Structure 1
Amino acid sequence: MWNMLWPILLVVGANTFYNISTKSMPGKINAFASLTVTYFTCFVLSIFMFYITSSQKNLIAELSHINWTSFVLGISVVALEFGYISLYRAGWKVSAGSLVANISLACVLLIVGLLAYKESVSPRQLVGIGVCVVGLLLINK
């Protein structure tokens, strides 16, 4: 049970701080200047965590296993961060902006799972998408 629970708790906790810090970012700073500091911090922390968690301790050898996914993930993460910065700068409330984005994402990923990964979609999930769409309409009124 704990193996299933701790990743969710980590995602929720990290997302809470993520949204608070993104919403609190000074409006005068260029978003990409801020992201430069953010990703430098990520760079240092990732190297540190690699050496803590790796039994081999050979970062160069490990990097030889990289494929296209790391590069696309990097592009996606920068786009995601810039999107959230722009979302909050456009005036979205922290209580609504992330909610709308994540509900929309969940609906899109249900379709991606169906089409790209041949996951099944139950009638309950279809009703859930309908409830989400109604919720999005209510939130945005």
Structure 2
Amino acid sequence: MVSYIWPLAIIVLSNIFYQVCAKGIPSSMDPFASMTITYFVGTICSAILYFVVSRNGNLLAEYGKTNWAPALLGLCIVGLEVGFIYAYKVGWSVSTLTIVQSAFVAGALLFVGWLLYHEAISLSKVIGIVICLIGLYFINK
């Protein structure tokens, strides 16, 4: 059970700090300039953690195992981060933006999961999306 929970804890804690940091980018700073610092720190941190976790690992050999996904993920992450930074610059609040985007993402991923991965769309999932949409109504009221 612990192996199931710790990744979620990392995601939740990282997302909380992520949102605080994204909102904390100075409004006068270009978001893409801030991203160069972000990715520099991320690259260094990832390299250090790779060698700590994969003792005697060969990073170049790992690169040889790649496919299209890491490169596209990099583009997606830039879109996510810049989108959040710009949303905060135009006035979205931390407490509202994440809920609104999560509800839309959950709805879209319901269909992506069905279409690409043949995941079942159950009545309870549809009801959950409807509840999310009702929640969006009240959050934005």
Q: What interval of TM-score do these two structures reach, taking the shorter chain for normalisation?
A: over 0.9
Cα root mean square deviation, aligned? 0.9
Q: What is the distance in 2 between the residues matched to 1:117 and 1:26? A: 40
Q: How far off its partner does 1:56 sit?
A: 3.9
| Partner in structure 2 of residue 98 of structure 1 | 98
After superposition, where does 1:1-141 map in structure 2 within 5 Å? 1-141=1-141
Instruction: Identify the range of structure 1 (98-107 vs 73-82) with the bigger mean alpha-carbon deviation.
Output: 98-107
Q: What is the distance in 2 between the residues matched to 1:121 and 1:10? A: 28
Q: What is the distance in 1 between the residues matched to 2:62 and 2:9? A: 28
**Match for 2:35: what amino acid?**
L
Deviations 1:4-30 (A, max 9, x none): 111111100000000011111110000
Q: What is the distance in 2 between the residues matched to 1:62 and 1:5? A: 27
Q: TM-score, normalised by structure 1?
A: 0.97
Which residues of structure 2 form unaligned runs of 5+?
none
Q: What is the distance in 1 between the residues matched to 2:27 and 2:107? A: 31
Q: How far off its partner does 1:126 sit?
A: 0.7
**Match for 1:90: what amino acid?**
V
Deviations 1:16-63 (A, max 9, x none): 000011111110000000000000000000110110111442111111
Q: What is the distance in 2 between the residues matched to 1:126 and 1:7? A: 26
Q: What is the distance in 2 between the residues matched to 1:140 and 1:115? A: 30
Deviations 1:68-111 (A, max 9, x none): 10110000000000000011111011100111111111111111
**Match for 1:37: what amino acid?**
I
Q: What is the distance in 2 between the residues matched to 1:127 and 1:62? A: 42
Which residues of structure 1 form unaligned runs of 5+?
none
Q: What is the distance in 1 between the residues matched to 2:40 and 2:88? A: 22
**Match for 1:113: what amino acid?**
G
**% identical equivalent positions:** 38
